Structure 1
């Protein structure tokens, strides 16, 4: 996918980038294992409405944990969380103890800090990547955009069984 995006540059730079791997020695020790594994493949990912932060953003994002809404409890226990990235410019957090990806579901037009919901989106980073970043769940949380069209061209928008005829 990285090669296909790079082949279409500069057009794709506005809506998608899968950066080269971060050298292992540049990944801070505090980065949770699942995120470390991602950074060893891609030091940051922009995929339409999803942006997963790279090594250059670790320190800044750690500080941002202190400004999460009170209802989340994140600012009380920031060491329990990792600021993974943004989904439609709203925080995606990873619980360090479980590896689950959390978000502020869009149940209203209010900004995330004015909502009273904060919940687990996926049980781990691998499922989040497969479903929401590189798969058929993207539209459940994002917009129909160039990234969705790119996923569709690569056959990644149909859930298992969606493209089968009855009886197949």
Structure 2
């Protein structure tokens, strides 16, 4: 994980700790101990868990090292048109967006999801890549202007990002 993103996570964690109501909409876990992170995870995900062992930001939650195994059941419900049923071992559920799974392609590290189509995700006919890797996903979609693309309406996390000046597209590197 790049140093800039690591510092941003640490700064936001400290800022949230000073806000008494922040647990209602956000929680950044402390980094996991190396031996607590499950073996065999992609390197980018391992790095994230070592910095923040679980990240809840508004309607998006990335699993902690202790909850990761418990959300893999989503793989069983992936629509047949997606590549997940044909290569279940090649995918990992890394979190949820409003109770809908966020997937990682183990081979490429890319982050994927079922975008809103007016039907439940498991009956969807669309499956799209969100970001080329976990770091880009966290930077743009969890901690930046892309959060608004993932959520149906403004919420407290969106307002927090705005207060922190993190929603300005001009400050982003285009990821």
| TM-score, normalised relative to structure 1 | 0.90
Write the distance in 1 (CA, Å) between the matches of 2:70 and 2:156: 29
Who is 2:88 aligned against? 78
Find the residue that maps to 2:166 and give its secondary structure.
Answer: coil
* Unmatched runs of 5 consecutive residues or more in structure 2: 1-11
| 115, 136, 139: which one aligns with 1:127 | 136
Q: Which range moves more in the overlay, 43-52 or 140-149?
A: 140-149
1:26-105 alignment runs, 5 A limit: 26-105=36-115
Q: Secondary structure at the match of 2:169?
A: coil
Between Structure 1 and Structure 2, whose CA radius of gyration is higher? 1
Residue from 10, 13, 30 that aligns with 1:2: 13
Q: Distance in 2 between matches of 1:57 and 1:66?
A: 17
Residue number among 165, 170, 175 corresponding to 1:155 in the alignment: 165
User: How many residue pairs were aligned?
Assistant: 160
Distance (whole Å) between structure 2 residues aligned to residue 95 and residue 46 of structure 1: 21
Distance 1:118 1:102 in 2: 7
Q: Could you report, residue by residue, the CA deviation over 1:37-57 in whole angstroms, capped at 9, with x for unpaired residues? A: 000001100000110000111
Deviation at 1:97, TM superposition (A): 0.8
Q: Which runs of 4+ in 1 moved over 4 A?
A: none
Q: Please, what TM-score do these two structures have when normalized by structure 2?
A: 0.86
Corresponding residue SS for 1:98: coil
